[in-house]
Amino acid sequence: MKLENKTAIVTGGGRGIGRAIALTLAREGANVLISGRNRDVLETTASEIEALGRRAVTTVTDVSIESQVEEMANTALRQFGQIDILVNNAGVVGPTASVTDVNRTDWDEVLAVNLTGAFLCARAVIPNMVSRRSGKIINISSIAGKMAYALRSPYAASKWGMLGLSKTLALELGPHNIQVNAICPGPTAGERMQGVIAGRAKEMGKSVEEIERLYVDGTALKRMVDPNHVAAVVLLFASEVGDSITGESVDVSAGYAL
C-alpha cells in the first residue's frame, strides 16, 4: 500500500486514462475524489473504487469554471480533511482542422479546459499542501505537447502550455516540499482516441483504418498505449518513490515519433 491514508483528486476521473489513474491510486490505498462532467460515468467508477475498499467521492465539475473548481477542492477537504495528490487529467480534444479553419470559440474552450483548468485546480489545492509541507501535483499533458501536431493546434498549444505550467509550479512550490511533474501519453487505446482518429480521417479524406495505422506505425512499439501504463507512472510520482522528482515530464507514448 504505497498510498495508505492519502487523499487524491483526479479530474476527468470517470473514464479512460482518468479512470485507470483513479483505480490505480485506490488499489494502493488512497481515498479518491473524482470529478468530471458526466455524473453517471463518475458514479460507476466510484463504485469500482469502493469495491476496492477505499472511499470515493464524486463532483460534477467543469474545471474551466473557477467557482466549481473551488467547490471541488472544498468538498475534498470536507470529506477527507486533506489533499495529498492532485492529478490534472481533465481535458477536451478540440477540433481537427487547419489553423485557418479553427474558430475562436473552439480555441478558447480547449485552452480553458486543458490549460486554465489545470492552473485553477492547482491553485485551489496548493494552500492545503503548503500548510502541511507535502503534496504531489501531476499534470497529464501529451506527446502533442512536445511536437508539431498538424490539424490539432488548440490541443497542441494547451499541452505545450501544461509543461511550462508544471515546471514553473515545481520551482515555486519546491521550497514547500511539493513535487510537480507531467506525463505525456502518446496515442492511447480507448474511446477518446477513436474519436480523434475518426475526426482526422474525415478531415483528410481517408479511412479510419488508414489513420489508425498511421498512429500505430508512428510508435516504436507498433501499438497503442495502455491507459494502465500511464497510471503506473502517476503512481510513481504520487508515492514516496517520487519524492525527489520534480519539474520533469515523462513520455508514456510507446515511442511515438522517435
Q: What is the pLDDT, as a whole number, of residue 137?
A: 99
Q: What is the pLDDT of residues 131-184, one digit of tens each?
A: 999 999 999 999 999 999 999 999 999 999 999 999 999 999 999 999 999 999
Q: What is the pLDDT of residues 3-29, one digit of tens each?
A: 999 999 999 999 999 999 999 999 999
* Residue 258 pLDDT exceeds 90: no
Instruction: Identify the helix (H) or strand (E) that includes residue 250.
Output: strand 249-252
Residue 222: what pLDDT? 98
Q: How much of the chain is in helix, strand and coil states, percent to nearest 5?
A: 55, 15, 30
Check residue 147 and give its pLDDT. Answer: 97
Residues 7-188+225-252, CATH architecture: 3-Layer(aba) Sandwich (3.40)
Res 230 pLDDT > 90:
yes
* Cβ–Cβ under 8 Å, residues 245 and 237: yes
Question: pLDDT at position 146, please?
Answer: 98
Average pLDDT in the chain: 98
H/E stretch holding 60 reads strand 56-60
Average pLDDT over residues 174-202: 97
Catalytic residue among 149, 155, 215, 256: 155
pLDDT at 94 over 90: yes
What are the residues whose beta carbons fall under 8 Å from the beta carbon of 126, sequence distance 6 or more?
135, 173, 178
Question: Which sign does the torsion angle of CA 180, 185, 190, 192 carry?
Answer: positive
Is 155 labeled as catalytic in the residue annotation? yes
Give me the half-sphere count of Cα atoms (radius 13 Å) on the Cβ side of residue 28: 19
Closest CA to 182 of 246, 93, 103, 242: 246
Instruction: Give Cα separations from 91 to 88, 222, 257 (angstroms).
Output: 9, 25, 22
| Mean of pLDDT values over 215-219 | 97
Task: Give the percent of the chain with pLDDT over 90.
Answer: 99
Instruction: Note the pLDDT tens digit of each residue in 29-63.
Output: 999 999 999 999 999 999 999 999 999 999 999 99
pTM exceeds 0.85: yes
Which DSSP string do the residues of 174-213 spell out, in sequence order? GGGTEEEEEEEE-SBSSHHHHHHHHHHHHHHT--HHHHHH
Tell me which amino acid residue 37 is: R
The letter for the amino acid at 235 is: L
